[in-house]
Structure 1
Amino acid sequence: MKVIVNGKTTDTEEKNLREFILSRRLEPGLVIVELNERVVKRDKWPDTTLKEGDRLELVSLVGGG
C-alpha cells in the first residue's frame, strides 16, 4: 500500500504503526508520530492500522549540545 511520509509517497507492507516505525529502523522512544494530522501516543501504535493514502509525519528527537 502507499502512504505519505513527511510529504513523500512511500510503499509499505506493514499493517500497523508500530511495525512501520520498526521497519524504518527508528528508535520508538525517540519518535513522535502524527497520523492524518493527529498525534498518536506510542502505546496506541500496535492498534493503529495503516490504510492506503494515510499521511504520516515522523519527527525524530536528537540530542546534542
Structure 2
Amino acid sequence: MVPVEPAIVIHVNGTPHTLRRSLSIPELCDLLNIHPRLVAIEYNGEILHRQFWDTTYVQAGDRLEIVTIVGGG
C-alpha cells in the first residue's frame, strides 16, 4: 500500500485553498492562473522577495496575500 499524504489547506487573499501537496510559489501561481511577473506576495505577514519564490513551499496553515501590480500615473 502506498502512503497517501494528507491534503493541506492554505489561505490566499482570505480564501481557503486545499492542495494535494506543498507547492512552490511559482507552482501555486500557475495553479491559480496568476501571472507571477505582475504580482507582489505577502507570505505569513512578510513580503516575500522574488528571489526566494522558487525555494519557498507553502505549508498547511500558511496565509498569503497576492496583490496585482498596476502601473499608472
TM-score w.r.t. the length of structure 2 is 0.77
Sequence identity of aligned pairs in percent?
34
- Name 1:4's counterpart in structure 2: 11
CA distance in structure 2 between the partners assigned to 1:27 and 1:55 by the alignment? 19
CA distance in structure 1 between the partners assigned to 2:70 and 2:35 by the alignment? 11
Larger Rg: 2
Q: 1:36-61 CA distances to partner (integer Å, 9 max, x unpaired)?
A: 00111112111001100100000012
Aligned letter for 2:50? R
| Structure 2 unaligned regions, length at least 5 | 1-7
The reply on whether 1:25 has 2:44 as its aligned counterpart is no
Q: 1:9-48 CA distances to partner (integer Å, 9 max, x unpaired)?
A: 1112452111101211111111000010011111211100
- How much is the aligned-residue C-alpha RMSD, in angstroms? 1.6
Of the three residues 11, 17, 24, the one matched with 1:16 is: 24
Of the three residues 50, 57, 68, the one matched with 1:49 is: 57
TM-score w.r.t. the length of structure 1 is 0.85
Identify which of structures 1 and 2 has the higher relative contact order when contacts are C-alpha pairs closer than 8 Å and 6+ apart.
1
- What is the Cα deviation at residue 64 of structure 1? 5.6
